[in-house]
Amino acid sequence: MNVYVEKSGFIEVIAGGMFSGKTEELIRRVKRAKIAKQKIMAFKPAMDTRYDDNDIVSHSNAYFKAQPLSNIKDIYHHDIDDLDVVGIDEAQFFSNDIIDVVNDLANQGKRVIIAGLDLDYMGRPFGPIPYLMAVAEYVTKVQAICTVCGNPASRSFRMISSDELVVLGAKAQYEPRCRLHFSTDNKGDKNEG
């Protein structure tokens, strides 16, 4: 007699500032799932072409094959039915539709692993990440190292002048900062409102 047992899906969020190892941890988790012979597919925003047009690539050059998406709902255009694990990098760049999408995937029994910035360059909650953290079964907050004092850094200090919310970049545009050195150098009214 065969007994069918439904598997329970769940959501994992890896959040933190730039250079904190979010993407590296996402890649580590999906590679371990691959070693366990699970069916995996990874996705990233099409706008993120910093290191590669398709693959998820960390600042330390670790990578995992991915599918770029212009809209998170385009995930349904891929063959996801038989997947065990879905990885999503740079989730802060997707619309709030990602919340319903990842809940749907988890409700289908999939493990959904999400990485993203929890705070924007002004130190405010960034896009859908706070909501994803609220609905996730597991949340991992990772820290970088403050470039000023060496303490744990939870914020991304923008070193170039721009009022745009999204400015793609790496070490030339951003550096990790602790709370003290982020607020000390982020003068003016940028943190208000």
Where exactly are the structural domains of the chain? 10-142
Neighbours of 167 (CB within 10 A): 12
Residue type, 56: I
Residue closest to 104 by CA, chosen among 14, 29, 9, 5: 9
Query: What confidence category does residue 60 fall into, taking pLDDT thresholds of 50, 70 and 90?
Result: confident
Active site positions, annotated: 90
Contact 119, 15 (CB under 8 A): no
Residues in the chain: 193
pLDDT at residue 188, rounded to an integer: 42
**How many other β-carbons are positioned within 10 Å of the β-carbon of residue 128?**
22
* Mean pLDDT score, 140-157: 95
If you compute the radius of gyration of the chain from its CA atoms, what whole number of angstroms results? 17
More confident residue, 100 or 59: 100
Q: Give the CATH superfamily of 10-142.
A: P-loop containing nucleotide triphosphate hydrolases (3.40.50.300)
Name the pTM for this structure.
Answer: 0.86
pLDDT for res 40 = 97
Asked if 116 and 132 touch (Cβ cutoff 8 Å), the reply is yes
